[in-house]
Structure 1
Amino acid sequence: MKFDFTSILDRHGRDAIAVDGIGKRANAPKAPKDGFDAIPMWVADMNFPTAPSIQRAICERVAHPCFGYFQPSKDYYESIIEWQRRQNGVEGLKAEHIAYENGVLGGVLSALSLFCTRGDKVLLHSPTYIGFTQALTANGYQIVSSPLFVDEDGVWRIDFEEMEKRLRQEKIHAAVFCSPHNPCGRVWEKEELEQVSSLFEKYEVNVVSDEIWSDLIMPGHRHLPFQSVSEYARMHTVALYAPSKTFNLAGLVGSYHIIYNQTLQERMARAAALSHYNEMNVLSMHALIGAYSEEGREWLSELLSILSDNLDFACNFMEREFPYLHAMKAEGTYMLFIDCKDWLQKKNLTLAELEDQIWE
């Protein structure tokens, strides 16, 4: 392989919550007992060195000793447009459709503020990313869950009848849609996305589509941007992206949204201007440009091969050594969502007891 995916990086003392937060932060694993070390799998980042093109882009910018006020460069927008075209087949994307977000969760909340007020109901498919539940609850939204189900092949699916029932009965007009899905790892098929869009259109639901995992798609699958499946989805969706999961850049902070509806663009811009929270970091801009380069694409291709092999290894190991644990190999993301119900029953444990043991 051209890139380094085998070096074991010592991240201690290198600004990494995944290792330095253990035993020191709330909602973190407890410190390991003497003679043991902790495997930092509790935070959704990777331990691989990032793409060299990113480090070079940052170093080249840091070599100039002035870091004053700036505006996003033409290269920034063109990098996103070309990345979306080559990765996701997006045509017609323009700089005016793109704007910076400090983070995807912040973007979710900003977008929801266009569609809802505190106390309103918001649809989420469950199981769901804990960041959604915490952020929405803290901001006063009522979460209405539309449960996914596992089909006879062990694949997580949307229950469209149940989804429509929730939309109709709860009179919901805003939804947070996760594509690819975190934590189940589904890469939604075109027919599924079209059916979701049809229901949202039927009940006049505005959509916030979290597509932060859209680059991490396993071989044999293809990500389709939700905005691409219908004209309704295109004009009633705020889609959120970032290079952070793909290239391990969460510490640099830098996401972006895509909005085709001009009215929504203007409202999102006003919301950001009022709070003054959404100012881009110059190094984040250059990191994205370095990531969304030809070398970045080559690095990602090798990464996906490694992740796919790792997922195969983990699933095969569990099937062989822990037959009472069940996991669908993720189609996208590097998450592995494990069904522990049979194992808990065999061990006569509750989920809370298992969680305590894991944190120990």
Structure 2
Amino acid sequence: MEEKNLNFDEVIDRRNTDCLKFDFAERRGKPADVLPLWVADMDFKTSSLVLDALTERVQHGIFGYTESRERYFEAVSKWMEAHHDWKVERSWLTKTPGVVFALAMAVKAYSKAGDAVLIQQPVYYPFSEVIRDNNRKLVSNDLVLGDDGKYHIDFDDFEKQIVDNHVVLFLLCSPHNPVSRVWTAEELTKMGDICIKHGVTVVSDEIHEDFVFGDHQHTVFATIKKEFEQNSVTCTSPAKTFNLAGLQVSNIFIPNGTLRAVFRKQVDAAGYSQLNAMGLTACEAAYTHGETWYQAMMRYVESNIAFVRDYLKKELPQIKLIEPEGTYLLWLDFRALEMTEKERENLIVNQAKLWLDSGAIFGQVGEGFERINVACPRATIKEALDRLKAVIV
């Protein structure tokens, strides 16, 4: 089967499709003509082979309750083994309508009201929301931006926060969104050992696992030690990799039978059972037939990152790129502009007419930064950077 959707330069008009990124600016307090690069979906068509599978499913015409068969698990498991050297078992799998839903279920399953849950800010803001909205105590082991321009983990503080706050659950973001770190096996081991020592369950959000650049390599947390496997929940999804977020399909792996049973009980309590038919179809097709599209998309995203790096260096040296190791979300340091949050928002939103994600929403330690999505045509990125240049230089 031939892959047809390999023109990532194609600018596709997403307006008037009920698109969260493009159609809801005014409703969310932004100018109608703002250029959005905030929410983490792509502006690329997914694999044509995924579209073929969806088209065939649509033409059948019946969309009743749908469950996955063995070939679905085979597709998922083969992808995990080929790309992440992880042999998963069928019994470990629980399917959910998204990773954030899974995080919320995990918070309910492995903690009770008032318990402390650890995260590492600046981090994907729904981490904080599922903790606070479920009446748990948010504790942060803040990441530290080193002189080398990379974020690092303060392991002494990591353990101190756990001990001082009686933390029972750790939400790990790996690779990390938004600071783009791909944690090394050594870093993951240190955190995992501390969690084992203090009886802290680990929920690892690995939704960006397929986006790793250069010599960096993603290590599935559960593969490091048997103790980690039995003390963790691993959250995966084709949503980022194949631009399928709107189809709401995630694959959650829990090797420990006790942890798995408690998690599934919370999913049942939420009233959720089968995933939507189109999500199941898309996931199976993507992992079975999407390799060519995936590899081409990765090369394009890497070239976009190189374009941003070069542009900032030559045209906007006031803005510093935190060198990305993974994800398609870049973390930009605006602190040299010496602006308040309000002043910078006015500059970006009202003057440059851009919609980015302000670093402050990822935690106080993110103030002065902005997150930008570069999984879009080069022309879109150039326009965004040109708009910034026009109001800064």
The TM-score, its normalising length taken from structure 2, stands at 0.85
Q: Distance in 2 between matches of 1:291 and 1:217?
A: 18
The alpha-carbon deviation at position 319 of structure 1 amounts to 2.2
What SS is found at the alignment partner of 1:306?
helix
The alpha-carbon deviation at position 315 of structure 1 amounts to 1.8
Aligned partner of 2:20 in structure 1 is: 17
What SS is found at the alignment partner of 1:191?
helix
What SS is found at the alignment partner of 2:235?
strand
Alignment of 1:322-337 (within 5 A): 322-337=316-331
Cα shift readout 1:47-87 (whole Å, capped 9, x = no counterpart): 11111111011111112122222321111111111010001
Cα shift readout 1:122-176 (whole Å, capped 9, x = no counterpart): 1100111112122321221211111111223211111111111111211111110
Cα shift readout 1:228-266 (whole Å, capped 9, x = no counterpart): 111221011111111111111111111120000011122
Tell me the amino acid that sits aligned with residue 164 of structure 2: Q
Cα shift readout 1:257-303 (whole Å, capped 9, x = no counterpart): 0000011122222222222124311110000011102x311111111
Cα shift readout 1:304-351 (whole Å, capped 9, x = no counterpart): 11111111111221122222322222111111111222222xxxx202
Aligned partner of 2:118 in structure 1 is: 123
Does residue 302 in structure 1 map to residue 296 in structure 2? yes
Alignment of 1:141-290 (within 5 A): 141-290=136-285
Q: Distance in 2 between matches of 1:122 and 1:203?
A: 13
Q: Distance in 2 between matches of 1:100 and 1:64?
A: 24
Aligned partner of 1:358 in structure 2 is: 348
Q: Percent identity between the aligned chains?
A: 31
Aligned partner of 1:101 in structure 2 is: 96
Tell me the amino acid that sits aligned with residue 350 of structure 1: T
Consecutive unaligned residues in structure 1, runs of 5 or more:
33-37
Tell me the amino acid that sits aligned with residue 228 of structure 1: T
**2:143/2:151 contact within 8 Å kept:** yes
Q: Distance in 2 between matches of 1:206 and 1:133?
A: 17
Does residue 29 in structure 1 map to residue 30 in structure 2? yes
Aligned partner of 2:362 in structure 1 is: none
The TM-score, its normalising length taken from structure 1, stands at 0.93
Q: Distance in 1 between matches of 2:230 and 2:168?
A: 15
Aligned partner of 1:35 in structure 2 is: none
Range 242-251 or range 65-74, more displaced: 65-74
Q: Distance in 1 between matches of 2:335 and 2:273?
A: 42
Tell me the amino acid that sits aligned with residue 79 of structure 1: A
Tell me the amino acid that sits aligned with residue 300 of structure 1: Y
**1:312/1:329 contact within 8 Å kept:** no
The alpha-carbon deviation at position 39 of structure 1 amounts to 2.1
Aligned partner of 1:88 in structure 2 is: 84
The higher-RCO structure (CA 8 Å, 6+ apart) is 2
Aligned partner of 2:387 in structure 1 is: none
**1:227/1:234 contact within 8 Å kept:** yes
The runs of at least 4 aligned residues of structure 1 exceeding 3 Å deviation read none
Residue in structure 1 matching 2:311, options 308, 311, 317: 317
Alignment of 1:49-60 (within 5 A): 49-60=45-56
Residue in structure 1 matching 2:59, options 54, 63, 73: 63
Consecutive unaligned residues in structure 2, runs of 5 or more:
351-393
Q: Distance in 1 between matches of 2:264 and 2:78?
A: 23
What SS is found at the alignment partner of 1:19?
helix
Q: Distance in 1 between matches of 2:235 and 2:285?
A: 19
What SS is found at the alignment partner of 1:8?
coil
Q: Distance in 1 between matches of 2:152 and 2:292?
A: 32
